[in-house]
Amino acid sequence: MSFKNLEEAKRVVSYYSIARKVALRVDKSDSVRVRYKCIVGCPFVCLISEVKKGKGFEIKTLQTKHICPEAFNNRRATQQALEHYFKKKVQNDPKCKVNEMRKIVDDNFKLNISYSKMKRVKRLVLEKLDGSYVDDFNKLEGYAQELRDNNPGTDALKNGWRAGLRPFIGLDGTFLKGKFKGILLVALGQDSMKHFYPLAWAVMDRETIRTWKWFIELMRNSLGLADGEGLTLMSDMQKGLNGAVGDLLPKSQHRWCARHIEANWSRSWSGVQMKKMFWWSAWSTYEEEFNDQLKSMGSVSKQAAKDLLWYPPQHWAKPIIKMLEDIRIKVMKRLKQLEEEGKRWTEEYCPYSMDMYYDFRMIAQGCQVVANES
């Protein structure tokens, strides 16, 4: 096991110490090594030292056998380790109770952390989040300029839709977790294979007629939708959205999606997320488990929206630019993948259409023309 610096190595040892309920102590420590031992009489030892100047750190000696009893007062439960542990929880629920946090570490690690210490942990997590968010929002304009200058694929999206896709657009808004308290608005098209085709997305402060109007107006102008003649839109029953569509695309057909009405998936999402936040069991298998969860989470159409929104769990804590960039890259990769799929078609029309054609031809063979008698 290797670490990029001594700080990271110490954090991992702290986690180990907390999870294993052993009271490790630092036996020797300088700028190139740290050695941990357990209580007197316990054979545990762990030495971590620098591989080569500037080349990171490695475990050099490790004896993991313990003969000591469970430790209740663990000095490795440092403020730093606790901050790291609670970062996502506090981010997703800044109003979480200090006593609830204390109960979590008590239940899971038999650790008794004082109220004042836990309160400090929570305050520091919030302060650091504040700092990074404010900083990041200030950089948004720069990010937008960067995208405009380099135009990475935005024209490809809209040209693709205009050239080959049916005049159908699904619209949805979904709550963002964490401190943004924002909404991600998304417009999706659909290709002949019923794959979803992301057209546009934006982060707004909330879902209102004002924000939807802004979003739909930009989309209308960009895709050349004019008054919406021949276009079908599908969405949930958002008031703001209906008003905006009526004003901006008066001739479009607007359908409501029953699935949207029945399922408020952002709630169940947060449940899954929370339950899965326990890093120690999740360390190695997190992503696979997470993917399985996604698969089992219902229907194809919901899956599509989530696919787009999904970015790896380790990025949840990352601020807005990181999120937007993740989405953009994900969309580009998806288009590339669908293009590759399309190249493998063996017939002139897509497999989905061909299946339908063969099905109907079968049915037609069983049909007889009956003349009307009179």
Footprint of Zn ion on this chain (CB under 5 A)?
22, 38, 42, 44, 66, 68
Residue 17 or 252: the one with the smaller Cβ distance to Zn ion is 17
Residue 69 or 250: the one with the smaller Cβ distance to Zn ion is 69
Residue 68 or 263: the one with the smaller Cβ distance to Zn ion is 68
Residue 22 or 320: the one with the smaller Cβ distance to Zn ion is 22
DSSP, res 229:
T
Least distance CB 22 / Zn ion (angstroms):
5
CA pair distance 158, 169, nearest whole angstrom? 12
Place of tokens 């899954």: 272
Residue 66 or 213: the one with the smaller Cβ distance to Zn ion is 66
Residue 41 or 224: the one with the smaller Cβ distance to Zn ion is 41
Least distance CB 114 / Zn ion (angstroms):
24
Least distance CB 47 / Zn ion (angstroms):
15
Least distance CB 46 / Zn ion (angstroms):
11
Count the Cβ atoms, other than its own, within 10 Å of residue 200. Answer: 21
Which residues make Cβ contacts (< 8 Å) with residue 294, sequence separation at least 6? 303, 306, 307, 310
Residue 63 or 266: the one with the smaller Cβ distance to Zn ion is 63
CB 326 within 8 A of CB 308: no
Place of tokens 């040892």: 13
CB 305 within 8 A of CB 188: yes
Residue 77 or 323: the one with the smaller Cβ distance to Zn ion is 77
| Residue among 66, 58, 14, 11 at smallest CA distance from 38 | 66
Residue 42 or 126: the one with the smaller Cβ distance to Zn ion is 42
CB 38 within 8 A of CB 24: yes
CA pair distance 231, 108, nearest whole angstrom? 54
Least distance CB 27 / Zn ion (angstroms):
13
Least distance CB 38 / Zn ion (angstroms):
3
List alpha helices for 176-316, DSSP H: 209-223, 239-248, 258-262, 265-275, 279-282, 286-296, 300-309
CB 182 within 8 A of CB 203: yes
Q: Is 213 helix (H, G, I), strand (E, B) or coil?
A: helix
Least distance CB 36 / Zn ion (angstroms):
10
Residue 38 or 304: the one with the smaller Cβ distance to Zn ion is 38
Least distance CB 39 / Zn ion (angstroms):
6
Least distance CB 20 / Zn ion (angstroms):
8
| Residue among 280, 285, 284, 283 at smallest CA distance from 20 | 280
| Residue among 336, 325, 349, 309 at smallest CA distance from 188 | 309
* Nearest-CB residue for Zn ion: 38
Least distance CB 59 / Zn ion (angstroms):
17
Q: What share of the chain is helix, strand, coil (3-state, %, to 5)?
A: 55, 15, 30
For the CA atoms of 189, 238, 294, 326, the dihedral, rounded to the nearest 10 degrees, stands at: 60
